[in-house]
Amino acid sequence: MSENHDHHNQSGLIAFLGSMAFVFVFFIYIVFINKGVTLDEKVQDAAPVGAPKFELASVKDPWSGAPEVITAGQKLYAANCAMCHGAKGDLVGGIPNARNLVEGQWKQGDGLIAHYKVVQNGIPGTQMASFKASLKPYERWAILAYIETLTGNKSKDKPEDVAAFAEKAD
């Protein structure tokens, strides 16, 4: 009988057996040891446990710019406005023809009243859609309160004029 002295096959066999051992051990780890991901996890708000939950709808004057209203407005802005105006209102990640909310002059009037009318009615002939059907008035005011924190071109409206307008705005 002659012996087989093919060392190339021997190293290939060792590599094959090593990789099979690795796959087997990895399979055992994934199936029996690793806990994996559960899909029933609850996402918690940033509010501490037991703290009262903020309800934007209960705010009597959402145009005032209270910190809680601004925070709610930031979330609403992210969901409704950031895709066009950018996450920070500066068009970064937004669409090119949208309004830069951080700098530049307002084309439909400078002030919260004019801005509210734009958010409510949109701007005909542009991509600025009306949010009258999709956002409640207090949500529109919250978005404007957040935008007011972003812009360098602040509203010149008097608070009492804004309050009088807001009382009759729909």
* Domain, as residue range, for 140: 56-168
Q: How do residues 72-110 score in pLDDT, each as one tens digit? A: 999 999 999 999 999 999 988 888 888 899 998 888 988
Query: pTM score, two decimals?
Result: 0.69
Q: How far is CA 167 from CA 9, 69, 108, 140, in A?
A: 86, 17, 21, 14
**In which residue are the tokens 């700098």 written?**
103
**Residue at 27 is within a domain:** no
**Residue at 67 is within a domain:** yes
The CATH number for 89's domain is: 1.10.760.10
Say whether 26 sits in a helix, a strand or coil: helix
**Residue at 44 is within a domain:** no
Q: How do residues 19-70 score in pLDDT, each as one tens digit? A: 999 999 999 988 888 877 766 655 555 556 666 788 998 999 998 899 999 9
Domain total for the chain?
A: 1
Distance CA 77, CA 87 (A): 8
